[in-house]
Amino acid sequence: MVNHLTLVCFLLLVQASYLAAVDDGLVEFPLEAGAEGQILKVGLGGNISWENDTVSAGFSSGNSVTDLTDVASAGSGNIITQQERQKLEALTVSSNGILQTDSDVNVGGNLTVTGKMILSTMLITNNGTINNADIGDSIFVRITNSATVRGLQGGENGRMVYLNNGTGSDMKIQHEQPSSSATNRINTPDGSEITLKANGSISLVYTTDINRWVVVSSAQ
């Protein structure tokens, strides 16, 4: 009769036939159910990887969960990369549910807006001629007191700004005025002065080709 010790030794020998030698801290398990050449590697420190000549069941050669070191929630099973987490951390949600980011956003495809498009706005109330107005990050700028605009700060290649005349009377947009810093100046068509009637608007785009704001259109 086979004693217990003999039976245990037999089972250990059978189990050992499924294990390859330990290599660099990994125990290799040949997978009989998989395609030929598939090996599951289990590290003694808890790392798991799958080696395979072809893509199968969502794994490809060399994939390893050790590459995904950032666990979103312990025990949840959700794993993301550090790069993905940094992208998510750049986003915030305001108290009224608006998704915000201070980072640049590049859209490589079409951008479809199904809701409202809200532009950042600014109100300029100072009197006198505007030579180098600091408009911050605003896109729509309404001017209520000044009668003449000669230059705007914040020019970046491709940046668009809308100026609106809220003075109640005519407002002038002047061409290449020396009282404005060179890179803040406005370049008008044919070098002519543009007069905006009350509530009229003008759109400007900055170009680094000449380092000036150029007139795209105006509604007088």
What CATH number is associated with residue 178? 2.60.120
Domain contains 112: no
Do 22 and 32 fall within a single domain? yes
Do 61 and 72 fall within a single domain? no
Do 96 and 130 fall within a single domain? no
How confident is the model over 194-204, as pLDDT tens digits?
999 999 999 99
Do 63 and 143 fall within a single domain? no
Domain contains 108: no
Domain contains 142: yes
Domain contains 130: yes
Do 130 and 208 fall within a single domain? yes
CB 118 within 8 A of CB 98: no
Domain contains 11: yes
7 exposure class (CB count in 10 Å sphere: 0-12, 13-18, 19+): exposed
Do 80 and 57 fall within a single domain? no
Mean pLDDT, the chain, rounded, equals 77
Look at strands 39-43 and 26-30 and give their pairing. Answer: antiparallel
End-of-domain residue from the set 48, 67, 86 = 67
Do 125 and 202 fall within a single domain? yes
Phi, psi of 87 (to 5 degrees): -65, -40
Q: At which residue do the structure tokens 């950042």 appear?
A: 120
How confident is the model over 102-150, as pLDDT tens digits?
778 788 899 898 988 889 999 999 888 999 999 999 999 999 998 899 9
Do 63 and 96 fall within a single domain? no
Do 191 and 136 fall within a single domain? yes
pLDDT given at position 215: 97
pLDDT given at position 32: 54
Q: State the Cα–Cα distance between residues 126 and 105, nearest whole angstrom.
A: 33
Q: Which of 152, 157, 208 is nearest to 180 (CA)?
A: 152
Do 91 and 155 fall within a single domain? no
* Boundaries of domain holding 63: 4-67
Domain contains 113: no
Do 49 and 81 fall within a single domain? no
pLDDT band at residue 63 under the 50/70/90 scheme: very low
Domain tally for the chain?
3
Do 45 and 78 fall within a single domain? no
Which residues in 140-159 are b (16+ Cβ under 10 Å) and which e? bbbbeebebbbbbebbeeeb
- What are the tokens at 74? 């312990």
Domain contains 115: no
Domain contains 110: no
What percent of the chain is predicted at pLDDT more than 90?
A: 43
- pLDDT greater at residue 101 or residue 30: 101
